[in-house]
Structure 1
Amino acid sequence: MAYLMLVLTPLLSKAVCQVPFVDCPVAKPLPLFHKYYQPGDLIIGGIISHIYISSDVMTFRRHPHQEPIDGLVLFSVTGTYFASLELLSTRDNFIPNYKCDAQNIPAAVIRGPTSDISFTTILCSYRIPVLIYGYLSMINNHIERMGFQSMFPNGALQYMAILQLLKYFSWTWIGIISLNEENAEIFVKDVVPTFSQSGICVEFIEIFPRIRFSNDFDKLMAEGVTTIIAVMRSTANAVVLHGEFETIMVLRMLIHYSEFGETSVKSKIWIMTAEMDFTSISFQRTWDFDFMHGAISLAIHSKQPQGFQRFLQRRTPVSHKEDGFIRDFWQHAFNCLFSNSEGDEMVEGACTGEEKLEALPVSVFEMGMTAHSYSVYNAVYAVAHALQTIPFFTFNHRAKMGRGRQPLIDQELYQLQHFLRQVSFNNTCGEEIAFDPKGQLLTGFDIINWITSDNLSFLRIKVGKVDPKAPPERMFTIDEDVIVWPSRFNKTQPLSLCNNACLSGYSRMKKEGKPFCCYDCLPCPEGKISNQRDMDDCLQCPEDRYSNKDRDLCIPKYIKFLSYNEPLGITLTMMAILFSFITALVLGIFLKHRDTPIVKANNQKLTYTLLVSLLLSFLGACLFIGQPNKVTCLLRQTVFGIIFSVAVSCVLAKTIIVVLAFMATHPGSRMRNWVGKPLAASIVLSCSFIQTSICAVWLTTSPPFPDLDMHSKIEEIILKCNEGSVEMFYSVLGYMGFLATVSFIVAFLARKLPDSFNEVKFITFSMLLFCSVWLSFIPTYLSTRGKDMVAVEVFSILASSGGLLGCIFSPKCYIIMLRPELNKREQLISRKNYRINSS
């Protein structure tokens, strides 16, 4: 911890911002923590009479009886308290709360970004404003906060910037390290839930011990080394360092004393908060800090004041002998010693005072003003401007000085805190310095990329910024092309995930007992896709599209129907035409030989009706082929049902007439009155009328219509005819099956009648084939989808119609065409008598 105590006295009340850097007295120096206190950080002139520096490395002004432990009191709170109390006592006389030198009463105190605020409470008790260039996360009590003024932006802005960094680089699996247990608790309570809501998981939260040179140093180091080994071996590549000034110093120490089998595991992407900076102590000067290569940190937005480097170059122990800080700093920076007296001879390793600051490695001394120094720079000007705005301060200034330099009264110090929050001015860099109503600095953050080199040096490269004054879409900007990543990651952007990202075509499934960032990758099911990485669920393709093989793209489905242009459609069409031609040929043969006995003996009109119905059934099968439309959908099933009913009715009528004709041959039989044309016509008309009525009801109530089948085939949209009413469809099939069953039973019972009178044996076989086809049709039809269903029905129509045609008419055509000698009345009568006698 280190604190800057600025004693602002009313010696000069004129313009305070005209001279950027002037010399002024400096108290006891800081020998080791040179990175904290460069001369240019503190010498900002015009109204400053004394600047006091206090550190835990060496006390502000040690009491004669106080001795440091081996010359060091590393981060000792005791030293800080002592320095605070010295401000409340007379110079060189450590008597707290008793001052004789009124001119040294401080108007304000500037302190660094550390979590320990208790010492500052002492100063607040005396109404001394305290300016802190760090986030006030530990100050929750409003009464205590009244004495503080933050030179730091809103802390929520910093956490938002870290979150944006993690989201920008898709680092969803991170670790968190803190140097302070209380800070870690606040971070976990206030920030980690916000990270979780944005899909970021925390693998570990570790707390580094505060390293102090004391009796338990070895124990603390052992604990810290164990912690750093666990961190380095973790799977999270991105680690958030929620630290303070000394965090990097502690981290270097722990990594240095850690023993790893492979040095490659030391590489992490460190994401550092703005309170941190590069710090070290003397014995770390030659230590490697390559682990910081590629790190990303936030820093309070800063600029380089004009003339700052020239000012540093002019300050040497020779030119400013009265500045004890320069002399002590010089010895530690250049690793040399000044002789005690001017007469001493020069020895090896002696300081000349002419060494060049710019020759020092950046790890020892930076010639540019750091972000923290810039905050101190602005804090001094803010106090000066606030003093000028106190209404009666300037007016009563000279009167008070004339009465013996009486100190500022408590009321004036109390008012200074109020006016500090109202200060608004432009500094020498041209930037506006102002505060919000909560007393937080209205500025943003720079995003810094740390690049280390082999000569123990490093560069801070600005790669982005967080500007709260910009529009929301431009508040966070970063140029990833200029970022240098660690060598372990092949100088490419590293990943920090619990597991590898799920690629396109996969979705995430949470692992049991693991954080939500840890998941398995499951392939998308059929019909779903994921076109991005790490999708929680696959997207359903629209009905007219299907997922490709990789499940990352929806492809338009092909429109399919049983077409005349495809092989199956062509085959069925040719079969229908061929059977139609054969049927027409048979009909022609029967018409040509209508006067022959074999044609007359089998009821000519029924034969002609049956042949015409079979011809129409073959041609009607073509209605099922081609693109469905409103007309074909209405005609398909109804035409098929009615025509087949007529055909089966003709077969039934022929069978019944044959049976009655045989029975009429018996003497005295009354069956002669029933045998004749009226009976056949009645059977055909009545049976066909019932089927026609069923079809009429179907078309009236729920007619078939063109439809799209999106789901039967994954890659196809099938154009089909929706039956409208499935019940009516199966009613048509059921009635047709009923007629076929009755015809089969009657023909089977009459199968042994004489051949000269009937064709019952052929009808029996044809109806057996007919029933077999349609019994096989039902399960086959129900088990197929798309155009295959249509093909099954067309094939069943052709097969059953062809079976009737072949079984009933092929024997007769054989006799008519090839055995005309059998087609004579004498042959029929002789065969008739033979059959009767045999019976």
Structure 2
Amino acid sequence: LLKLNNFYPYLGGTIGFGIRQGNIPRLKEYLMTVNPERYPTNPLVLELWEAIYGCTPFSSGSSSELPFCTGQETIKTQHSAYWNTSSTRITYNVYKGVYAIAHSLHNLISCRPGRGPFSNSTCADNTKVFPWQLQHYLQEVSFTVSGELVNFDAKGDSIPSYDLINWQKGRDGNIELVNVGLYDEAQEVGKELIIYDIALTWPGDQTEVPVSICSDSCTPGFRKAVRRGEPLCCFDCIPCDSGKISNQTDSIDCMACPEDYWSNADGTSCIPKVVEYLSHDAMGVTLIVISVVGACVALAVFAVFLYHRNTPIVRINNSELSFFILISLTLCFLCALIFIGEPTSWSCMLRHTAFSITFSLCISCILGKTLVVLAAFTATRPGNNVMKWLGPVQQRIIIFSCTLVQMIICTAWLIASPPFPYRNTQYQHSKIILDCSVGSDLAFWCVLGYIGLLACVCFILAFLARKLPGNFNEAKYITFSMLIFCAVWLAFVPAYVSSPGKFTTAVEIFAILASSFGLLFCLFAPKCYIILLKPEKNTKQHLMGKEK
């Protein structure tokens, strides 16, 4: 005991597993009756007597040099544990083993012929029991002793059950092995080990769990990273990567969040990802206002032209085509509204087809107007009757035919691979970007390419007619409008490809609005200026450049 006390400052608070202890009824009373007179032929009793009393019984006949016993001797102090049966461990384990064999033998003997567990339902021979037969019954035995359930597995091994022992110093200064928990493999998964925290004593007789002497615990949101070449208690706390969390102290690794979730700023929990699309926020409302203002301006110009439809400047520039252009521009402005809001199957299909058809209609009308302007000035030459091929019917046919081609492309697009809404979780891992996929990239670029083709034809024809005589040569304004239109859409392509998230949609809307405003102001601002502010110039002679 003295030696153990010397080591206690270093080993005190040690925790380990031990064989289960239990109470064996009437064991102490039995030990009190054990003596050489009752068991004269048992050498173990003789050895026990010599060990605890330090003498040799008279009746033993031993040649030991120890003095003889009278039977009235007092047990030596160092062997007082012999009478302590309150916390037996090995003895209790033997006690359970004996009971297990006894139960097995009882079941073996109780076997009824014809209902045995062996071949042909036979029983074991009670006069000649083989170990494998007893093993069979031992695997199936189950009994309770001292409040503990004892049973065995398929191999005949007992189900593991151990006490968790803590080395503590008692009130009297003696060393005690205190039960502070239990391990029982018969319990449910995850509940096999039970620890009684209150009963635990740590090194230095402390009741609180000692803190690592090398590194502090890692809080939630961090993971442990062991330092190479240092003890396991030495580690660094590394913050969890974005998209991963740890919600426990001293986590070894961080857990990845599900696809639709992302880690919070502290890295302790997963929160739903931010869903992003061009909604009715500040940017969306601004674009809506600009779109509505543009449509209202186009309608106001339409009203001005309708009111002054009999004036020379309206009539000389083909009022019917002007009205068609203004209506199509109004639709171009309004189709930008379809791009704002949460994408749906219908809105994705409608936004691209409406945009492409309205712009094709607008450029087709401008193409018709360009051809008329070019033909009108060419028809002044002797013997040239080209104007008879560009009458109102032919103009409508040109507009309808050019727009019909775009409608056919859009129809094939919607049938083969229509646009659809999709959730982009790869561009920004912390966000879910709702957008419209074009479905078929080929169809999308065919639509834009066809509009660009019409614009290029318009630009070339208007450029050829830009120096024709007249104070109001509309070919000049068509040339400027096509330059602006082409510049906007050429700038749109790289911006569309590189813009992230909702800004992709915003760039497309900006291209629609900018090109629509460019066409509206280049084609109609000079005319409205003359109609409203310079009515004295609204004469045929002035417009034809023949005014003296």
- Asked if these proteins are the same fold (TM beyond 0.5), I'd say yes
The answer to whether the aligner puts 1:374 opposite 2:91 as a matched pair is yes
Residue 169 of structure 2 corresponds to which residue in structure 1? 452
Taking the aligned partners of 2:473 and 2:405, their CA distance within structure 1 comes to 27
Q: More deviation in 694-703 or 505-514?
A: 505-514
Q: Which moved more, 1:439-448 or 1:452-461?
A: 439-448
Return the alpha-carbon distance in structure 1 between the equivalents of residues 156 and 528 of structure 2: 114
In 2, distance between residues paired with 1:651 and 1:437? 92
What residue identity is the alignment partner of 1:639?
A
Give the C-alpha shift of residue 665 in structure 1: 2.3
- What 5-or-longer segments of structure 2 have no aligned partner? 35-47, 56-66, 68-72, 103-128
| 1:547 is aligned to 2:263 | yes
Partner of 1:759: 474
Pick aligned residue for 1:610 from 312, 325, 334:
325
Structure 1: state its 5+ residue gaps. Answer: 1-279, 316-321, 330-340, 342-352, 386-414, 835-839
- In structure 1, distance between residues paired with 2:479 and 2:201: 90
Distance 1:483 1:785 in 2: 61
Work out whether 1:289 is the aligned partner of 2:8: yes
Deviation, structure 1 residue 614? 0.4
Counting only pairs closer than 5 Å after superposition, residues 716-735 of structure 1 correspond to structure 2 as 716-735=431-450
Amino acid at match of 2:255: C
Say whether the 8 Å CA contact 1:816–1:823 is kept in structure 2.
yes
The 8 Å contact of residues 597 and 823 in structure 1, kept in 2 or not, is answered as yes
Q: Distance in 1 between matches of 2:8 and 2:338?
A: 85
Q: What's the CA shift string for 1:36-73, capped at 9, x where partnerless?
A: xxxxxxxxxxxxxxxxxxxxxxxxxxxxxxxxxxxxxx
- 2:480 is paired with a residue of what secondary structure? helix
**TM-score, length-normalised on structure 1?**
0.49
Q: Quote the residue 2:375 is aligned against.
A: 660
SS in 2 for 1:289: helix
Matched, 1:778 2:497: no
For residues 460 and 366 of structure 1, the distance between their equivalents in structure 2, rounded to whole angstroms, comes to 17
Decide whether aligned partners of structure 1 residues 603 and 482 sit closer, same or farther in structure 2, where only a CA change above 3 A counts.
Answer: same
Instruction: Report deviation, 1:705.
Output: 3.4
- For 2:193 and 2:411, locate their aligned partners in 1 and report how far apart those are by CA, in whole Å: 74
Change beyond 3 A, Cα 1:294–1:747: same
Residue of structure 2 in register with 1:805 after alignment? 520
Q: Which residue of 2 aligns with 1:794?
A: 509
Look up the SS of the partner of 2:18 in the other structure: strand
Asked if structure 1 preserves the Cα contact closer than 8 Å seen for 2:19 and 2:93, the reply is: no
The one-letter code of the counterpart of 1:623 is: I
Matched with 2:21 is 302
- Choose which of 722, 731, 750 in structure 1 pairs with 2:465: 750
The percentage of counterpart residues that share the same residue type is: 39
Aligned residue type for 1:697? A
Alignment of 1:557-572 (within 5 A): 557-563=273-279, 565-572=280-287
Q: Alpha carbons of 1:735 and 1:515: their partners in 2 closer, same or farther (altered >3 Å)? A: farther
CA distance in structure 2 between the partners assigned to 1:583 and 1:474 by the alignment: 74
- 1:569–1:625 contact (8 Å) kept in structure 2: yes
What's 1:150 paired with?
none
Q: Which of 530, 542, 545 pairs up with 1:827?
A: 542
Q: Does 1:556 align with 2:272?
A: yes
Amino acid in the other structure paired with 1:555: I
Q: Rate the CA distance shift 1:649–1:517 in 2: closer, same or farther, 3 A.
A: farther
Give the letter for the 1:816 counterpart: I
Shift of 1:807: 1.1
Partners of 1:541 and 1:441 lie apart in 2 by 43
Pick closer, same or farther for the CA change 1:654–1:444 going to 2, 3 Å.
closer
What is the distance in 2 between the residues matched to 1:460 and 1:725?
77
**Offset, 1:506:** 5.2
1:477-528 deviation digits (Å, cap 9, x = unpaired):
4333234232459533357899877765456789889999998776544434
CA contact (8 A) 1:757 1:832 kept: no
Which TM-score applies when normalising by structure 2? 0.72
Q: 1:824 to 1:431 in 2, by over 3 A?
A: closer
CA distance in 2, matches of 1:435, 1:560: 61
The answer to whether the aligner puts 1:480 opposite 2:199 as a matched pair is: no
Structure 2 contact 22–92 (Cα < 8 Å) conserved: no
- SS of 2:6 mapped into structure 1: coil
Secondary structure of the structure 2 residue equivalent to 1:287? helix
User: By how many angstroms is 1:586 displaced?
Assistant: 0.5
Q: CA deviation at 1:595?
A: 1.3
In the alignment, the residues of structure 1 paired with residue 329 and residue 210 of structure 2 have an alpha-carbon distance, to the nearest angstrom, of 77
2: CA distance between counterparts of 1:631 and 1:432?
69
Q: 1:437 to 1:634 in 2, by over 3 A?
A: closer
Amino acid in structure 2 at the alignment position of 1:786: G
| SS of 2:471 mapped into structure 1 | coil
User: SS of the residue aligned with 2:166?
Assistant: strand
Whether the aligned pair in 2 keeps the contact of 1:641 and 1:733 (CA below 8 Å) is yes
Residues 781-824 of structure 1 show CA distances to partners (whole Å, capped at 9, x for unaligned) of 22224332222222211111111001110011001000001111
Q: Mapping of 1:355-754 within 5 angstroms?
A: 357=77, 368-369=84-85, 371=88, 374=91, 444-452=161-169, 456-466=173-183, 470-471=186-187, 476-487=192-203, 491-494=207-210, 504-505=220-221, 523-531=239-247, 534=251, 536=253, 538-542=255-259, 544-563=260-279, 565-754=280-469
1:284-363 equivalences under 5 Å are 284=3, 287-303=6-22, 325=51, 357=77
How far has the Cα of 1:672 moved from its partner? 4.7
* Secondary structure at the counterpart of residue 660 of structure 1: helix
Contact 2:212/2:233, CA 8 A, preserved across alignment: no
Higher helix fraction (1 or 2): 2
Q: Distance in 2 between matches of 1:550 and 1:726?
A: 41
CA 439–715 in structure 1, closer or farther in 2 if over 3 Å, else same: closer
Displacement of 1:578 after TM fit? 0.8
Kindly provide the amino acid, as one letter, of the partner of residue 296 in structure 1. I
- 2:16 and 2:244 map into 1 onto residues whose CA distance is 42
Q: 3-state DSSP class of the match of 1:753? A: coil
**Partner SS for 1:546:** strand
- The structure-2 alpha-carbon separation of the partners of 1:356 and 1:304, relative to structure 1 and needing over 3 Å to count, comes to farther
In structure 2, relative to structure 1, the CA distance for the partners of 1:519 and 1:645 (3 Å cut) is farther
CA RMSD, Structure 1 to Structure 2 (Å): 4.9
Q: Which one-letter code corresponds to 1:458 in the other structure?
A: I
TM-superposed CA distance for 1:692, in Å, is 1.4
2:381 counterpart letter in structure 1 = H
Range 528-537 or range 648-657, more displaced:
528-537
Letter of the 1:302 partner, please give it. Answer: Q
CA distance, structure 1, for counterparts of residue 148 and residue 431 of structure 2: 67
1:815 equivalenced with 2:530 (yes/no): yes
Q: For 1:332-376, what per-residue CA distance to the aligned partner results, in whole angstroms no more than 9, with x for missing partners?
A: xxxxxxxxx9xxxxxxxxxxx99995xx8x9x9797346467379
By how many angstroms is 1:694 displaced? 0.8
| Distance (Å, rounded) in 2 between the aligned partners of 1:595 and 1:437 | 108
Q: In 1, are the aligned partners of 2:19 and 2:90 still within 8 Å (CA)?
A: no
Residues 316-341 of structure 1: CA distance to partner in whole angstroms, max 9, x if unpaired?
Answer: xxxxxx97655769xxxxxxxxxxx9
The CA distance in 1 between the partners of 2:513 and 2:507, in whole Å, is 10
Whole-angstrom distance in 2 between the partners of 1:432 and 1:743: 97
Distance 1:658 1:466, change over 3 A: closer
* 2:265 match: secondary structure: coil
For the residue of structure 1 that corresponds to 2:450, the secondary structure is helix
CA distance 1:286–1:737, shift in 2 (3 Å): closer
